[in-house]
Amino acid sequence: MSKQFRDRVDAGQQLAARLVRYANRPDVLVLALPRGGVPVAYEVARTLNVALDVLLVRKLSLPGFQELAFGAITSGGILVLNPEIVQELEIDRLEVERLATQARRTMDRRERIFRGDRPNPEIEGRTIIVVDDGLATGATVRAAVRALRVKAPARILLAVPVAPRETCDELQPEVDELVCLITPRNFYAVSLWYENFTQTTDAEVRELLAQRASELPQNVGELLAG
């Protein structure tokens, strides 16, 4: 098994080369799944000369059923439920609201850490490129994409360096376009395809988001804030 990417920066640069048709478009917004997706997404946004922000996702599950998510909540407080699992686990409305409120508080804290006082970006009518450093099952990004649909973007792309072929096939109907650089037959784990896969810190996320915001022309910054 050969390593395909030196690090997340290299992966982002390779990914950007497949997305050049979206360069220099003020309607395009790159949304990174923190934390590992941020260095990849920063290189994509910088190379394409488009805006960058983060999309936080927190899956909702009952105590004792952590592996069975009945929904998810994302940046901006968007709640998406899986009605089949809600019914299967017999979760009542009040319990859904209680767990969603807990998750929303956690999300708000995380967003303040990453974004500071910058407002949530405008999604409606824009072309959104969702970026992560790789996918395994794709459950988190699926929740993210479904939540984004609520905000009525013009188009959603999913762009990742590596993922199993079956995961890409399952996610393809969820997005308008899917770009994945490699889909290895024997996947095992995202980290195995990087020479350097050290953990991305909160400080690095903040720094990259602030750096990209400072690089943007003023008019793009205004569009970001809606």
The verdict on 167 and 142 lying in the same domain is yes
- The single-letter DSSP state of residue 137 is S
Q: What is the extent of the structural domain holding 96? A: 59-113
The verdict on 51 and 128 lying in the same domain is yes
The verdict on 108 and 205 lying in the same domain is no
d(CA 158, CA 201): 23
Kindly report, residue by residue over 78-100, the tens digit of the pLDDT: 788 888 888 887 888 888 888 88
- The single-letter DSSP state of residue 90 is T
- Whether 102 maps to a domain, the answer reads yes
**pTM for the predicted model, two decimal places:** 0.87
Q: What is the dihedral of CA 17, 224, 145, 22, to 10 degrees?
A: -20
- Whether 1 maps to a domain, the answer reads no
Give the end of a domain, one of 113, 144, 159: 113
Q: What is the pLDDT of residue 2?
A: 61
The verdict on 129 and 220 lying in the same domain is yes
Residue 67 CA: distances (Å) to CA of 3, 41, 83: 30, 27, 16
The verdict on 40 and 137 lying in the same domain is yes
Residues 6+ apart with CB under 8 A from 31: 41, 52, 53, 54, 55, 121, 128, 129, 130, 131, 144, 148
- Whether 3 maps to a domain, the answer reads no
d(CA 65, CA 85): 11
The verdict on 15 and 66 lying in the same domain is no
d(CA 70, CA 80): 9
Per-residue pLDDT in tens (0 to 9) along the chain, 226 residues: 566 899 999 999 999 999 999 999 999 999 999 999 999 999 999 999 999 999 998 888 887 776 677 888 887 777 888 888 888 878 888 888 888 888 888 888 888 899 888 888 899 999 999 999 999 888 889 888 988 998 999 999 999 999 999 999 999 999 999 999 999 988 989 999 999 999 999 999 999 999 999 998 754 444 444 4
The verdict on 37 and 148 lying in the same domain is yes
- The single-letter DSSP state of residue 27 is T
What is the C-alpha radius of gyration for the chain, rounded to an integer number of angstroms?
A: 17
- The single-letter DSSP state of residue 174 is G
The verdict on 146 and 212 lying in the same domain is yes
- Whether 118 maps to a domain, the answer reads no
The verdict on 91 and 177 lying in the same domain is no
d(CA 206, CA 30): 15
3-state helix, strand, coil in the chain (%, to 5): 45, 20, 35
User: How many C-beta atoms lie closer than 10 Å to residue 7's C-beta?
Assistant: 16
Q: How many domains does the chain have?
A: 2
